[in-house]
Amino acid sequence: MENEKKGTAIVITSGKGGVGKTTTSANVGSGLAILGKSVVVVDADIGLRNLDVVLGLENRIVYDIVDVVEKNCRLKQGLIRDKRFDNLYLLPAAQTRDKSAIKPEQMIELINELKEIFDYIIIDCPAGIEQGFQYSIAGADQAIIVTTPEISAVRDADRVIGILEAKGLHNPKLIINRIRPEMVKRGDMMNREDIEDILAIDLLGIVPDDEEIVISTNKGEPAVIERRSLAGNAYMNISRRIIGEEVELLDLDNNGEGKFTKILKLLFSK
């Protein structure tokens, strides 16, 4: 860790719960670390922390974000180094407190401190638009909106984009999570264009619905690391786009299977 870095703080938010904010935070954080950036992922979901579990770091928590903010410990004591990447750190949320434990001003101070140490600060925002959301976005320079192809999630995303703009966080980027190409093809699911039409913000990436995410979450190993899955590759591409590389969108029709298996499936599906 070097000093005087002036990193970028990105908040991952969605409004609606359960659309994949924490999964996205873990994978984008790990992806940026794979690309050689120094990264800290901040779990802002006080009282309902998960990011530590998804990263497989739960057993290392001694101090948390509230301890750091209340100065019960030094910032570096609160930071947990990832077990796979030396340049990835986690600042865990407190589990025994609630969202009233942190004020936006304290968060801004914290993020500014982190910016001097890291290239990227990924803030995993809690669901909702209350206190937790308010302090999570307070220190952020950029925002990533995660949504799923459901009208309810898109509606909440739209609301959040409006609030972010009112708070001066312009041009958020969109991640469409858990898309199912075969459903889109059948016309049973909103497609990328439908969602982009409504939200009218830049698309950062599309992540397919993938069993591998469930498996990797339960193992505490972000999918982006092994990259056996389409979702893992999608998150890697998103990470590349964040650092400014131009990467084409994944071909989601290729469902992780080779062409040969596809032909076989077609032949035997009747």
Partner 1 sequence: MKRDMVTFKGINEGIYLEVYGSDIELIKKELDEKISKQLNFFQGMKFLGVKAEGLTPEQVLEISLILKYKYDFVFDTEEDPLNRASKIFVEKDRISDDLSEGMTKFLYGTLRSGQVIEYNGNIVVVGDVNPGAVLKATGNIIVLGVLKGVAYAGLGGNNDAIVAAYDFMPTQLKINDIIVRAPDGGISQYRSPEVAKIYDGEIIIEPYLPNK
- Closest to partner 1 by CB, 22 vs 233, is 22
| 170 burial level (CB within 10 Å; 0-12, 13-18, 19+) | exposed
- Closest to partner 1 by CB, 62 vs 73, is 62
Contact string 17-56 vs partner 1 (x = CB under 8 A): ------------------------------x-x------x
DSSP letters spanning 166-219: HTT--S-EEEEEEE-HHHHHHT-S--HHHHHHHH-SEEEEEEE--HHHHHHHHH
Give CA separation, 162 vs 6, 138, 169, 176, 244, in Å.
Answer: 27, 15, 10, 18, 25
Tell me the closest approach of the beta carbon of residue 197 to partner 1, in angstroms.
40
Give CA separation, 117 vs 38, 73, 94, 122, 262, in Å.
Answer: 8, 17, 22, 13, 48
| Rounded Cα distance, 266 and 247, in Å | 31
- Cβ neighbors of 105 (< 8 A, separation 6 or more) are 138
Tell me the closest approach of the beta carbon of residue 129 to partner 1, in angstroms.
22
Please check whether residue 50 is in contact with residue 63, taking contact to mean a CB–CB distance below 8 angstroms. Answer: no
Tell me the closest approach of the beta carbon of residue 220 to partner 1, in angstroms.
8
Stretch that binds partner 1, among 58-66, 114-122, 199-207, 261-269 (CB under 8 A): 58-66
Instruction: Tell me which residue of 113, 92, 138, 94 sits closest to 7, measured CA to CA.
Output: 113
- Closest to partner 1 by CB, 57 vs 140, is 57
Q: Pick one of 2, 3, 4, 59: the residue that binds partner 1 (CB under 8 A).
A: 59
Asked if 62 touches partner 1 (CB under 8 A), the answer is yes
| Rounded Cα distance, 2 and 142, in Å | 23
Stretch that binds partner 1, among 24-32, 57-65, 122-130, 153-161 (CB under 8 A): 57-65
Instruction: Tell me which residue of 102, 109, 169, 161 sits closest to 135, measured CA to CA.
Output: 102
Q: Pick one of 1, 5, 85, 95: the residue that binds partner 1 (CB under 8 A).
A: 95
Asked if 85 touches partner 1 (CB under 8 A), the answer is no
- Closest to partner 1 by CB, 83 vs 159, is 83
| Rounded Cα distance, 174 and 145, in Å | 5
Q: Pick one of 61, 108, 184, 243: the residue that binds partner 1 (CB under 8 A).
A: 61
Q: Pick one of 2, 4, 6, 96: the residue that binds partner 1 (CB under 8 A).
A: 96
> What type of residue is 80?
I
Tell me the closest approach of the beta carbon of residue 96 to partner 1, in angstroms.
5
Tell me the closest approach of the beta carbon of residue 16 to partner 1, in angstroms.
22
HSE-CB at 210 with a 13 A cutoff on CA atoms is 29
Tell me the closest approach of the beta carbon of residue 215 to partner 1, in angstroms.
14
Asked if 60 touches partner 1 (CB under 8 A), the answer is yes
Interface ranges with partner 1 (CB under 8 A):
47, 49, 56, 58-62, 83, 95-96
